[in-house]
Structure 1
Amino acid sequence: MSNKAIFLDRDDTLIEDTGYINSPDQVKLLPSAAASLVELKQMGYKLIVISNQSGVARGIIKEEAIADIHHRLKTLLGREGAYLDAIYYCPYHPNGAIPKFSKESDLRKPNPGMILKAANEHDIDLSQSWMVGNSYRDITAGLRAGCKTILINSSVRPACKKVGDPEPDKKAVNIREATNIVKMQHLQEKISGASESKELLPVVETTTAKSTGSVTDSISALDAAAVFEQPETIAEQTSSNAKPAHPEKTHRLLEEVLRQVRTGRREDMFHEFSLAKLFAGISQGLVVFCLLLSLWLLMDSSRSVTAVHTSIGYAIVLQLMTIGLYMLRDGK
């Protein structure tokens, strides 16, 4: 196998994740997605999307709509000079509502089926390839297939790690930083290859002046400056002779900030109602009531000390119950 590839998750890796996308109009590229793919393609990688689409099995979306969505994705990328080599998706889910798609499948991530299928059809060397995605399902699938992996772990929507989930090879905040990681790895391989080639050359003593630099030094100096670019979420260092930021890059940075704000608001809006939280609130109110009651009983000389102790005891029990309910809610 001679080709190498970047396998990419779709939602929240290349396009905004608004839930189950069921219309081409909902497809919006993330900032720097297209530019990053262009750079990866220039390094000789095939670009292949690997996506779970359980909405088909659940009856939320039809395969025809997915085809339209992916056509829209290709169109938006193509306008910026980025082109995908293939898109694979898995429509199956064991708890689906459509009998045809309601089953387990080796294609569904975290299983590596889609990656292995793509590798077979596109003659890909998986040991030279990367799986990039924003969930540990992507990482598990990539590692099982034999790829190197990068987890896109945004501070706004961090990846949820479960017990037993493997660690990725690298982590990034977005597709831009993931691309930088691949570029640096690519540079290191070039430097390593140049060093090995230098060791194979015969040693010849001459009377000429000493060389001012090795092959490794020249490659490192030239390529490192040309290859590496800071991720757009990290502020660039300024200097007295620095040129003004390019308007297009500034616009993309603002789009990224706006997307993260919207994502955070959307998560707050759809935070699920919790009965544990409701009962915890009621219990906390009763704690306050019991403490006020005990204070009133303590100030009334005609009341016995036993009544005060009883009221405080109820307050303690209710407070412990409140803490337990909050812990139950947070553990979900």
Structure 2
Amino acid sequence: MNDLISIIVPSYNVEDYIDKCVDSICKQDYTNIEIILVDDGATDDTGKKCDEWASRDERVKVIHQENQGLSGARNTGIRASKGKYISFIDSDDMIATDYVSTLYSCIQENGVRMAQGLSKNFYKEDDIDSFVSEDTRRVISGYDMCKTLMSEYKMGWGIVMTKMFDKSLFDDLEFPLGHIHEDEYLVYKLYWNSGKVALTDKIVYYYRSKRKGSITHSGYSLKRLDAVYAREGRCVFFENLGEKELYQLAKLSLCYTQSETLVKLKESDIADKDKYIDDMRQKLKANTKEIWRADYISTKKKLSLWMEIYLPWLKHALKK
């Protein structure tokens, strides 16, 4: 098989990084790709650099649009894509030369609609040369992927950039406009709808850490509440499916997010933050009561949550 694969790159004010990103995509050892650069209303030379890449490599296509945010840029890329499979790369990051071939072969070998590799953070580009990993593969059910996503922290699981998708998975899904933490709104649905996911332990995605001005490393604002809202939506999703275990795990994960958010709200300089704090505190109290009655949540996890909320200093001391 030699299917066309679409690589979607939302691009906004990354003139210092876009060349490295696109270069890493153009150097893929799997060549039947289209590279869709979505200039999301950049105010620097990002758009110009995108056009330069299009003149250099016929596989590169550029879309210029008014700013719609990361979600809007990704949705535009999905609509314009012609590949059977799609992947998303952030414009300040880089990928391994076998990113596409590795994920594509995982899909083909296992007859699945979705594949996932690992990511690793880098501070300097020279760091990448030291990254070592093995291409150990396995297939996990969508149910277990959701379960792991909500109960364990695993690098690269909660983002779309480490993955390749059958485009049909987006027939009824799109990234939420006007929100950050956009991956949080979608990844669990993609796991669930895929039925099965092929995994590899190979590091395929290189995530640039602490870029000045990036959303991930900017100060706390009310937009950050999207992390809470996304996880509230996850609870509703599994509750409506009647998946009791996944619903309870989603609720537990929500409690931790609400607890962490309360701390950040208290430390912030947001105007009228007290009303947000009071609202979050009431929701956390109600959700914690529900967790105490949850039969799929172990006593150990219940006590851990209680300590995280009421005795965080003790919990952190015990970890040491």
Q: TM-score range by the shorter chain?
A: under 0.3
Rg larger for: 1
Higher relative CO (CA 8 A, sep ≥ 6), structure 1 or 2?
2
Scaled by the length of structure 1, the TM-score of the pair is 0.22
Q: When you count strand as a share of all residues, which structure comes out higher?
A: 2
